[in-house]
Structure 1
Amino acid sequence: MSSTPPRPRDTIAAIPAYVAGKPPTPRPGQQVYKLSSNENPHDPLPGVVEAAMKAVGQMNRYPDMGNSALYAALAERLGVPQERLAAGTGSVAVLYHLLQAFCDPGDEVVYAWRSFEAYPIAVSAAGAMSVQVPVDADGRHDLDAMAAAVTDRTKVVIVCTPNNPTGPSVTDAELRAFVERVPDHVLVVVDEAYREFVREEDPVDALALAGDHANVTVMRTFAKAYGLAGFRVGYAIAHEDVAAAVRACALPFGVSSVAQAAAVASLDAEEELLERVDAIVAERDRVVAGLRDRGWVFPEPQGNFVWLPLGERTEELVALAEEAGITVRPFVGEGVRVSIGEPDANDIFLAVAESFQLG
């Protein structure tokens, strides 16, 4: 019997590992908090648990593979035909399906860097090549450089706005000008995982942009503002042909019955959702003001997190935070991303930031 297993594709060896936010280490007599995964600190929205539990009672049945109730609710809320929707187990899964549908081996995918760490994983898994364009000194997308990076091998360009982990968002005017420079055969993916937290003066209207340009696809998720990170529901809004291609590559029965029910119920609780988002934004503003009062300099955050570009001192802050009872997300040699959590957790973080010796 052979002792050597079959060899996977060469691109598999190049796939970087995804590093998830670390949970806090329990400490006797001390409350600990997780500020490492950009999770919504609030409990599920009203009616969501009840809807999920009802769906749990039907776990012996397969999910609705067509996501009928979810697509109907999204179509009504967004004002788009259901044919323009494609759902998956989180917006990451939707991106995987999209790249599988549109990229041949060796094709190029352009995106900012640093940006969401799942991008190079998804690109490599599709057999495509990453073209990473550095963000500018303020942590913003360099859209001019990204447009210049498009070649005849480019199939997809990803714009993450607000950008995870650096925080800034692009404006609607900037994005529209950028799309005009991208050839029509190149798919522009606008990743709006944190769109609800944006308070930009000229916020992106990605739905309108996708309506004007057949090569624009919008990705959104229920994980962040809607607080369904544990259920994994994301979706794309795209031209009908693009959405059909993404759905064709999707894993059958990918979005569970419980996740679909929870997502629909969350859409029904929009008023409460917006109140919670406003509360998180208010906490973000309080944390930003507190950090700047303490002398910290960092990019303008538009998501539910802040980015501290500490470079080689990244692990120092991580260790201080861990000792104080909070976990943050390090990017070794680059910086630390800190999620906006409960007010008590944010207070601990501000105390840690004050004790950290700047300069």
Structure 2
Amino acid sequence: MSNLRLRDLSGIPDYRPGKAALPSPMGASTHKLSSNENPYPPLPSVVEALHSAAQLMNRYPETAASELTAELRSRFAVDAANLVLGSGSVEIVSQLIRATAGEGDEVVFAWRSFEAYPMLTLAAGAVPVPVPLTADHRHDLDAMLAAITERTRLVLVCNPNNPTGTTVGQAELDRFLSRVPEDVTVVIDEAYVQFNRRADSPQGIDYFRRHSNVAVAHTFSKAYGLAGLRVGYAIAPAPLATAMRKVALPFGVTSLAQAAAVASLRAEDELAVRVDYLVRERTRVAEALRKQGWKLPESEANFLWFPLGPDTTAAAAEFEARGLMVRPFAGEGFRVTVAETEANDRIIEAAAAVLKGARITQP
């Protein structure tokens, strides 16, 4: 028996990654639709950049990531002092939490939202304050505002929201930010921003420029298809960015990730074609599901949310039996990634089968 003295981490739930594409009991081909990954392989120009960078794998990556930082500076017209890199947006959010909140401090976020928010908050020793979504699965910004106390240090706004795909509009975010205390940091987490086609959707960078307490989190994992390389970044006020670097993982963004991110930014026109296809497929699948009778929230991400409540586990099992690995949240609903055409056609077929054969109650 070990006598090691460890922190009591029993209150921190384990992060559950999306289920891999396991063999289907029905013998059908399988699709991993549980992690919101881009279904396309890397562009040739990105592969070429990775090949070149691989020749220097014996060296530590450049901490300053000067080439990637220069690309981002040019893209967003911000100073290098405002840019912080991390191993995916999840590490960026972790940096933001640890830079602002400590023992007894509070972090406010909508719930359900990104599963890592409460885990990262607890790991930092802070107190998570989840605020229920509205009946239509959107952020309740008035309730989030009411949840802010003297102990609140950080507020997370996931837009589009994971896992519901719902969005916050410009007018409501304007009103919200006008009432948040200036010493409370507000993070606009835009992991899925490239898929957002809502006409009145706020752009996080605009709010960073207008508010001294707003930071923006972005990732290369989703639209850019670099989930396996782990690179994300924040655009943050300089004092916050400095604090984030103090808690960042040293050499957290590998040289391969930096090279791929730079190449992806330079090939954005090609990548936009893929994103546009996924948006069209999202619309096609959502329309087909609604014709079947499903009542789904309007998604502006690369996934759809099935709010099935107590029927979630049974319905997710039906999808998985048909070779579609989805992301269930027991008692609430499941999320399914919009992917290649074949997989999307199978989503429509599986959803019809669930409605026909399963005893479920539509919310």
Query: Which of 246, 249, 259 does residue 247 from structure 2 map onto?
Result: 249
Which among 185, 188, 193 is matched to residue 186 of structure 2?
188
Counterpart of 1:286 in structure 2 is 284
Greater CA drift, 310-319 or 226-235? 310-319
CA distance in 1, matches of 2:99, 2:158: 20
Q: Secondary structure at the match of 2:334?
A: strand
Q: Which residue matches 2:21?
A: 24
Matching residue's letter, 2:16: V
Match of 2:270 in 1: 272
For residues 149 and 348 of structure 1, the distance between their equivalents in structure 2, rounded to whole angstroms, comes to: 42
Q: CA deviation at 1:27?
A: 4.8
Counterpart of 1:232 in structure 2 is 230
Q: Percent identity?
A: 53
Asked if the contact 1:138–1:298 (Cα under 8 Å) also holds between the matched residues in 2, the reply is no
Counterpart residue type for residue 301 of structure 1:
S
Task: Please point out which of 24, 40, 43 is paired with 2:41.
Answer: 43
1:94-105, aligned counterparts within 5 Å? 94-105=92-103
* 1:217 pairs with one of 212, 215, 218: 215
Letter in 2 for 1:20: P
Is 1:54 matched with 2:33? no
Shift of residue 79, structure 1, vs aligned partner:
1.3
In the other structure, the counterpart of 2:303 is 305
Q: Which residue identity is paired with 1:7? A: L
Q: Does 1:154 align with 2:157?
A: no
> What is the distance in 1 between the residues matched to 2:24 and 2:11?
38
Counterpart contact for 2:61–2:251, Cα < 8 Å: yes
Secondary structure, counterpart of 2:264 in structure 1: helix
* Structure 1 unaligned blocks of 5 or more: none
Conserved in 1, the CA contact under 8 Å of 2:190 and 2:216? yes
SS in 2 for 1:347: helix
Deviations 1:215-238 (A, max 9, x none): 000000000000000001000001
- The code of the aligned residue for 1:163 comes to N
Structure 1 segment 310-349 matched on structure 2, within 5 A:
310-349=308-347
CA distance in 1, matches of 2:101, 2:145: 19
State the alpha-carbon separation in 2 of the partners of residues 205 and 242 from structure 1.
Answer: 20
* Paired residues of 2:24 and 2:320 also in contact (CA < 8 A): no
Does the C-alpha gap of structure 1 residues 5 and 170 become closer, same or farther in structure 2, counting only changes over 3 Å?
Answer: same
Single out whichever of 317-326 and 113-122 deviates more from structure 2.
Answer: 317-326
Please state how far the C-alpha of 1:164 moved relative to its aligned partner. 0.3
The whole-number CA distance in structure 1 between the counterparts of 2:41 and 2:278 is 13
Structure 2 match to 1:201: 199
Give me the whole-angstrom Cα distance separating, in 2, the residues matched to 1:260 and 1:317.
40
Shift of 1:281: 0.2
Say yes or no: does 1:4 pair with 2:17: no
- Tell me whether 28-37 or 242-251 shows the greater mean CA deviation: 28-37
3-state SS in 2 of match to 1:13 = coil
| Maintained 8 Å contact 1:140/1:169 | yes
Post-superposition CA distance 1:161-212 (Å, at most 9, x none): 0000011110122112111110000000000000000111201121111111
Work out which of the residue numbers 155, 161, 164 in structure 2 matches 1:163. 161
What CA RMSD, in Å, does the superposition of the two structures yield over aligned residues? 1.2
Q: CA deviation at 1:7?
A: 2.5
CA contact (8 A) 2:49 2:260 kept: yes
Aligned residues: 356
Paired position in structure 2 for 1:84: 82
How far off is 1:3 after superposition?
Answer: 3.7
The amino acid of 1:334's aligned partner reads E
Q: Offset at 1:26?
A: 2.7
8 Å contact from structure 1 (residues 287, 346) kept in 2: yes
3-state SS in 2 of match to 1:317:
helix
Conserved 8 A contact 1:46-1:269 = no
1:274-302 Cα deviation digits (max 9, x unpaired): 11111000000001001000000011101
Post-superposition offset of 1:147: 0.5
Residue 282 of structure 1 aligns with an amino acid whose one-letter code is: R
Which residue in 1 is equivalent to 2:10?
13
Contact 2:24 2:322 in 1 (8 A): no
Asked if the contact 1:162–1:194 (Cα under 8 Å) also holds between the matched residues in 2, the reply is yes
Taking the aligned partners of 2:176 and 2:96, their CA distance within structure 1 comes to 21
Partner in structure 1 of residue 131 of structure 2: 133
Corresponding residue number in structure 1 for 2:70? 72
Comparing 18-27 with 255-264, greater Cα deviation is found at 18-27
CA distance in 2, matches of 1:199, 1:56: 37
Question: Could you tell me which of 175, 191, 203 is aligned with 1:177?
Answer: 175
**Equivalents in 2 of 1:312, 1:65: separation in Å?**
47
CA–CA separation in structure 1 for the residues paired with 2:354 and 2:286: 16
- Runs of 4+ residues over 2 Å off in structure 1: 26-30
Q: TM-score, normalised by structure 1?
A: 0.97
In structure 2, list runs of 5 or more residues that go unmatched: none
